[in-house]
Structure 1
Amino acid sequence: MNPSAEVSPQVLSSASGIVRIAVDCMGGDHGPSVTLPACQAFLAAHPQAELLLVGRPDALAAAQGWQRCAVVAASEIVEMDDSVEVALRRKKDSSMRVAISQVKPREDGVVAADACVSAGNTGALMAVSRYVLKTLDGIDRPAIATVMPNQKDGYTTVLDLGANVDCEPEHLLQFALMGSALVSAVEGKHNPSVGLLNIGEEAIKGSETIKKAGELLRSVANGGHLNFCGNVEGNDIFTGRADIIVCDGFVGNVALKTAEGLASMLSSFIKQEFTRNIFTKAAAIVALPVLNHFKNRVDHRRYNGAALLGLRGLVFKSHGSADAFAFEQALNRAYDAARNRLLDRVHDRIVETLQALPTAAPGGPQIPVAKTA
């Protein structure tokens, strides 16, 4: 492989079962110093995977000679503080945009990559993804979804996590349908439960938007198109009461960052207590297996990799500050999503549900109708 020139994806294997991921190697706080080691570890663990490494060829020279890998040249980088306008209009050859373009079908319907992963600016990533790929029929706004650990030794999928600060009830319904498709595809749950994040379980609580969203979700659930378990509170993200929890992006992002901060604080407190004196240090040696297990369970790096749902292509967002281990987890999530045909499942779920619903439920809330993006 010649790292100084763009390499056509056709040089890679097209064998059945192969999953190809386009990687924005220049995005995030650390760029190739993190993305390349993560890609190398990912390839070693996934013999059925291939990677398109997108970025400046000189910065990706360390990947020369890697198997199941090709470089796609991009001359620009979307910086973490770049505005959406800069990313969209001024940096048309950015590694982010070129990577996203790899999952856009050509005129013959063929795609260069099955999924894209970037650690770049979240706002820019969403804007460029929406511009390049467009949204699925029936989806007004894409949403960011990720998993958070719960007390049942499983995961709770939460969306939206920051893409949409202000949402209408219909958007929350769309989030619920997309989240259901995500969990069904990746975790194999046939009919995952959905909760609506609120300040109380009672239907009369919450803002007018939340109340109307609850009515809409109940109406859809009564028709057998959704497993809605009602309103849930913030603590239910971690109790595992619902497989999926939907909320607007403002609330979701605050919840995510609060959870990450709390996990880091608890880990720091435990370390402080076990290093306080010689006796606590001795106790730490005895408790080391338990402490390591606890650290592993609350390590937010293990849950890195948020799906941008609702687009005509699979795009996954890594934390900008991710290290190599965390970025590898984002690659893993993109791989699992592509392997389990997440894009097709989201599309099928949306089309099937929205086509089966009337434009208005008798005596109930307005029901959105699928539209062309």
Structure 2
Amino acid sequence: MSLPRIAVDAMGGDEGVRVMVEGAALARRRHDRFKFLLVGDEERIKSALDAHPNLRAASEILHSTDVVAGDEKPTQALRRAKTTSMGMAINAVKQGDAGAAVSAGNTGALMAMSKLALRTMPGIDRPALSAIMPTLGDNDVVMLDLGANTECDARNLVQFAIMGAAYARIITGRDNPRVRLLNIGSEDNKGTEDLQLASAQLKEAAASLAMSFDGYVEADKINRGEVDVVVTDGFSGNIALKGIEGTARFVADLLRRSFASSLRSKFGFLVSRPATELLKHHLDPNNHNGAVFLGLNGVVVKSHGSASAIGVANAVAVTARLLENDLTKRIAADLDRLGGSHLGRTAKAAE
């Protein structure tokens, strides 16, 4: 079976070419049917490929020395979309030269370039940024939006739920992922008018879609393993995500400080080291790397800028799974199944 190749912005991220190429090489060991288009400085990429003959044999290089800076404004980056490694990787998807693009570069620029080049799918008003997070259950949780749209109405939230459920079916393997709206309480009368309207629409539509919807989830339940998809606006989602990440770092640093506080504590660390290593692995963002821009006419995945080669490999692996399972067609099929009847109302329209 011939699969579309993955365009990798080799210049993005904190460490650039070396880590991006090494990550792609690791990912190809798991998805050896895929080929790659490595976009960036040809000389540096060729040098990095010397250590990875398995990737070199499956890759082409698209030369570019122009890089989007980490602090560059999206409007500035858009002017150089045709010459930067990030813009050229996205354009490869637009032109059909690649099925998906992966970048560890500037998030705002990546979103702006992706929206301009690929446009949103029919039936989707705004793309959403979605990521995977660990839980205490046997499932990871998909969360969206995480910052692409700071203000969302009920229509946007319903669309996010449809996209998130399609994504979760691929990632979690659940036929009917459990979808919830993030809210300040679980009662039906809690939250804004848009949240309440979105909840009513999703309850009505869930029978037509492959999802289980039962209202709201509070922020302290996101990682309990009781839900597969958490839907919210980008403002609340970004705050919740950073709060979760900050708490994870706080717990890890607190444990480290406690174990170093005395000789007795150091001995306790040696005894409990297998458990602490498991905790470290579970909380390591590299093991859950790869945020997806859902709702575009093409797959674009954002890797953490500080990701290690293992993190980049996981982002590329996520991309490969989405291509193998044709995420865009799945979302389109769900939108068609719903027929748009539940996608047209907002809180203002309902008044």
TM surpasses 0.5? yes
Alignment correspondent of 2:62: 72
Please tell me whether residue 184 in structure 1 is matched to residue 176 in structure 2: no
Per-residue CA deviations over 1:222-281 (Å, capped at 9, x if unaligned) read 656752110110012111222111000011111111111111121111122222222222
CA contact (8 A) 2:9 2:102 kept: yes
> What amino acid maps onto 1:121 in structure 2?
N
Report the Cα distance in structure 2 between the residues aligned to 1:275 and 1:30, rounded to whole angstroms: 31
Aligned mate of 2:88, from 79, 95, 98: 98
Aligned mate of 1:211, from 188, 196, 214: 196
Q: Are residues 184 and 87 of structure 1, via their aligned partners in 2, closer, same or farther at CA, if it must alter by over 3 Å? A: same
Report the Cα distance in structure 1 between the residues aligned to 2:93 and 2:141, rounded to whole angstroms: 27
257-266 or 183-192, which deviates more: 183-192
> What amino acid maps onto 1:242 in structure 2?
V
CA contact (8 A) 1:197 1:231 kept: yes
Report the Cα distance in structure 1 between the residues aligned to 2:30 and 2:179, rounded to whole angstroms: 33
Measured after TM superposition, the shift of residue 149 of structure 1 is 1.1
Q: Are residues 344 and 282 of structure 1, via their aligned partners in 2, closer, same or farther at CA, if it must alter by over 3 Å? A: same
1:1-373 paired onto structure 2 within 5 Å: 16-18=1-3, 20-62=5-47, 63=49, 66-104=56-94, 106=95, 111-221=96-206, 226-355=211-340
Q: Are residues 210 and 52 of structure 1, via their aligned partners in 2, closer, same or farther at CA, if it must alter by over 3 Å? A: same
Measured after TM superposition, the shift of residue 355 of structure 1 is 4.4
CA contact (8 A) 1:263 1:299 kept: no
Number of residue pairs matched? Answer: 345
Q: Are residues 365 and 207 of structure 1, via their aligned partners in 2, closer, same or farther at CA, if it must alter by over 3 Å? A: closer
CA contact (8 A) 1:229 1:242 kept: no
For structure 2, which runs of at least 5 residues remain unmatched after alignment?
A: none
Report the Cα distance in structure 2 between the residues aligned to 1:331 and 1:223, rounded to whole angstroms: 32
Q: Are residues 213 and 365 of structure 1, via their aligned partners in 2, closer, same or farther at CA, if it must alter by over 3 Å? A: farther
Q: Are residues 43 and 185 of structure 1, via their aligned partners in 2, closer, same or farther at CA, if it must alter by over 3 Å? A: closer
> What amino acid maps onto 1:221 in structure 2?
A
The secondary structure found in structure 2 opposite 1:49 is coil
RMSD: 2.2
Report the Cα distance in structure 2 between the residues aligned to 1:188 and 1:336, rounded to whole angstroms: 11
For structure 1, which runs of at least 5 residues remain unmatched after alignment?
A: 1-15, 368-373
Per-residue CA deviations over 1:109-167 (Å, capped at 9, x if unaligned) read xx222211111111111110011111110000000111111111321110001100111
The secondary structure found in structure 1 opposite 2:71 is coil
Alignment correspondent of 1:3: none
16-25 or 192-201, which deviates more: 16-25
Measured after TM superposition, the shift of residue 100 of structure 1 is 0.8
Per-residue CA deviations over 1:148-197 (Å, capped at 9, x if unaligned) read 11111321110001100111110000000000111113332211121010
Alignment correspondent of 1:9: none
TM-score normalised over the length of structure 2: 0.92
> What amino acid maps onto 1:207 in structure 2?
T
67-76 or 302-311, which deviates more: 67-76
158-167 or 233-242, which deviates more: 233-242
Report the Cα distance in structure 1 between the residues aligned to 2:204 and 2:44, rounded to whole angstroms: 53
Per-residue CA deviations over 1:188-228 (Å, capped at 9, x if unaligned) read 22111210100001121112222222222223236567521
Q: Are residues 339 and 345 of structure 1, via their aligned partners in 2, closer, same or farther at CA, if it must alter by over 3 Å? A: same
151-160 or 277-286, which deviates more: 277-286
> What amino acid maps onto 2:87 in structure 1?
R
Q: Are residues 305 and 224 of structure 1, via their aligned partners in 2, closer, same or farther at CA, if it must alter by over 3 Å? A: closer
Q: Of Structure 1 and Structure 2, which has the larger fraction of its residues in helix?
A: 2
Report the Cα distance in structure 2 between the residues aligned to 1:365 and 1:353, rounded to whole angstroms: 22
Report the Cα distance in structure 1 between the residues aligned to 2:322 and 2:208, rounded to whole angstroms: 28
